[in-house]
Amino acid sequence: MNIFTLQLYDAMHSETLADVVSFAGEDASGSFGIMANHERFMTCLVFGMARFRTRDGRVQYLAMPGGVLYFIDNVLRISTHHYIIDTDYEQISTVLQNQLVEEEGRLLTLKKSLKNMETELFKRLWETGHTP
């Protein structure tokens, strides 16, 4: 059985898995798969979940907020801000959903803050007679 190496990198640590048989992920164009000896390939992964199968037949799920994938010389490298690996799809799916909700909350707060800053800027420009 042909295998390849999966190297995962995030802001806090890295991990190498040397017995991967296949990888399935998603980029902006849709889902794709990689097996051993694939030609050189690079893409940006979207927020979500990928999966990979090891030589012993175990399927593991990889949740991440997007990342850069690069496959060359039978080594698949994924760089991301943060990732979680688990064999339990339901558990990792719940964690991913919770992270997505938290991220949406932070983005909403940021948008409100930016809107307030914009309003104050226009107010001060109006008060000083410098209208845009």
The model's pLDDT over 75-100, given as tens digits with 9 standing for 90+, comes to 999 999 889 899 988 888 888 778 77
For Cα atoms 23, 3, 35, give the angle at the middle one, nearest 5 degrees. Answer: 35
The token duo for 69 is 């994938």
Nearest to 13 by CA among 60, 82, 64: 82
Residue 15: partners with Cβ closer than 8 Å, 6 or more residues away? 7, 8, 85
**The domain 1-87 is classified under which CATH number: 1.25.40.10, 2.60.15.10, 3.40.1210.10, 3.20.20.70?**
2.60.15.10
Would you say 1 and 21 are in contact if contact means Cβ atoms under 8 Å apart? yes
The token duo for 71 is 């496959």
Task: Tell me which of 51-55, 69-73, 113-117 is least confident.
Answer: 113-117
Can you give the pLDDT at residue 104?
A: 78
User: How high is the mean pLDDT of the chain?
Assistant: 91
Q: Is 70 exceeded by the pLDDT of residue 103?
A: yes
